[in-house]
A and B are shown apart, each in its own frame.
Chain A
Amino acid sequence: MNHATWPARVILIVISAVIVWTVIAAQRGKKLFIRRIPGLTAIDEAVGRAVEMGRGILLSSGLGGIDVVTLQALAICTNIASAAARYGTKVQMPIYEAALLPIAEDAISSAYNKAGRSDAFSSDDVRYLSNQQFAYAAGVAGMIQREQYAATFLFGTFFAESLIMAENANMVGAIQVAGTPSTTQIPFFIASCDYVIIGDEYYAATAYLTRQPTLLGSMIGQDRVKIAILVTVMLGFLLTMVKLPLVKNLFEDKDMPAASYYSPAKGGK
């Protein structure tokens, strides 16, 4: 779809309005509930283990550029960094995309500030490694083997290199938590990490960790949208049974005359 159709305009604007509405309502102090997400409690556990063992923590925000997924990863990493800083555990973060380096450096150093440990932050700990996929993986593998991290957190966009990083960390006995919207990599994280955050638990993570009203509101809004999508799709399924392609037509690539949206399907495709 190069340009919005009329149904697309309506649907996208309604979805956006629902989300923005709940976010603003939450910011104004509306009490909201989200359920416990098991994988996320593991984050604190892993930080605790690293503190006990007195070894460092590795954070990776994956292979994304400045995009929605990577910024989300950075938000999670910032939380972990501030928890670690509170206990005086060293955090290292190899960066893939150069433009992300200053944002990450800024975010991690402000996490240290928040924990009252700005003295412990060294700008070498957030370092650019490479923006070539496997050079980055080789570098991270080397870092893991040499530094023998106690815990590794892999959040963000990952591709094939996910397993290189996760297996090397497994070799040095690190406790690992991973989360990614790259669905293809989840099986490998499941095989070599201790805890894996699946699907849009990824977007729920910061909301859950920080209990920030903005993020909680967003979660609730997203949930409502998802429920609406499920209901719509189910309705479409039922309507297809009686040969009414109404729902299907709403999602067509091109606008069609208003009357034909709810006209019965013409036989066959």
Chain B
Amino acid sequence: MKEETVKLIVILLGVASTLGIYSILYKENKVFRFFEHLYLGLAAGYSISAAWNDILRPQWWTLMMIEGRWWMLFAIPAAMMFYMIYSKQNSWMSRLIFGLFLGATAGQTFQAFAADYFPKFRTAASKAVMDLPEVNQPGAYGLTPFSAALNNVLFMVILASVMTYFFFSFEQKGKVIPSVSKFGRYTLMVAFGALFGSTIMARMSLLIGRMYFLIHDFVQVQLLHMQ
């Protein structure tokens, strides 16, 4: 097959699968079902290939068979334990290997917690109301020392009220706590609205990418031979 023919088929397959998947927007139908199953099959095949190409071959097979680290063979009985789940008497052995994974994940949490949250604690704890470094920074349009301090106070207020909203160990009664936590809930809604609004852009960008493929790569280049 010529290079161009391959390229043309690749584009045609791309167009077919794009339209096939989009057809679910109208309603569930046979074309979508076909592409859905095709997709699941390809994805399974891809996972198998990726597991071999990217992990098992370089990190296991090559080390064992070519570099001669014969003890890598012990990975097989260890991995076999996963499959013992299907044995009636010995399904407990699968828990042994899960235990290894659970333990390892749990053990890494200490470092992850320190690395993720300590900088955040640091930021929150060092919000200043005087001598604000950010006032003189480029990009701080119209930021006066007063408004910068106000922003930092607001930061603490929001942080505290949202955290209060998530305290579970006592009934949220009285005068202060319910209104603080209500304010927390409202600021959460502002945050979620903001997240929604800013995500729209990302999703539209994806659609633009796809439409560009249909319009440019397929219609303009392949059908109309425009460049």
Contacts and interface: CB of A to CB of B under 8 A. Distances in A.
Interface in B153-208: 156, 159-160, 163-164, 166-172, 188, 192-193, 195-196, 199, 203
Nearest 4 pairs of A and B residues by beta carbon: A236-B125, A135-B43, A102-B85, A145-B28
B43 A1 contact: no
B109 interface: yes
A204 B166 CA distance: 10
A12 B113 contact: yes
B36 A187 contact: no
Interface in A218-268: 219-220, 223-224, 226-227, 229-230, 232-237, 239-241, 243, 245, 247-248, 251-253, 267-268
A33 B21 CA distance: 50
A119 interface: no
Interface string B115-126: 100110110111
B7 interface: no
Given A71-B102, A233-B124, A241-B130, A227 B21 contact: no
A130 B171 CA distance: 43
B122 A99 contact: no
Contacts, number: 165
A35 B127 contact: no
Interface in A158-201: 160, 183-184, 186-188, 190-191, 198-201
Name which of B35, B102, B114, B188 has the most chain A CB atoms within 10 A of its CB: B114
Nearest to B109: A68
Contact of B166 (A130, A188, A201, A253): A201
Interface of B: 21, 24, 27-28, 32-33, 35-36, 39-40, 42-44, 46-47, 82, 85-86, 91, 94, 98, 101-102, 105-106, 109-111, 113-115, 118-119, 121-122, 124-131, 133, 156, 159-160, 163-164, 166-172, 188, 192-193, 195-196, 199, 203
Nearest to A12: B110
Contact of A35 (B46, B125, B172): B172
6 contacts: A1-B118, A4-B114, A33-B170, A184-B199, A237-B127, A243-B131
Given A233-B121, A240-B126, A248-B122, A138 B36 contact: yes
A139 interface: yes
A71 to B, nearest CB: 7
Interface of A: 1-2, 4, 8, 12, 32-35, 37, 66-68, 71, 99, 102-103, 105-106, 129-132, 134-136, 138-139, 141-142, 145-146, 160, 183-184, 186-188, 190-191, 198-201, 204, 219-220, 223-224, 226-227, 229-230, 232-237, 239-241, 243, 245, 247-248, 251-253, 267-269
B167 A251 contact: no
A123 B91 CA distance: 15
Nearest to A128: B44
A187 B121 contact: no
Contacts of B85: 102, 105-106
B121 A229 contact: yes
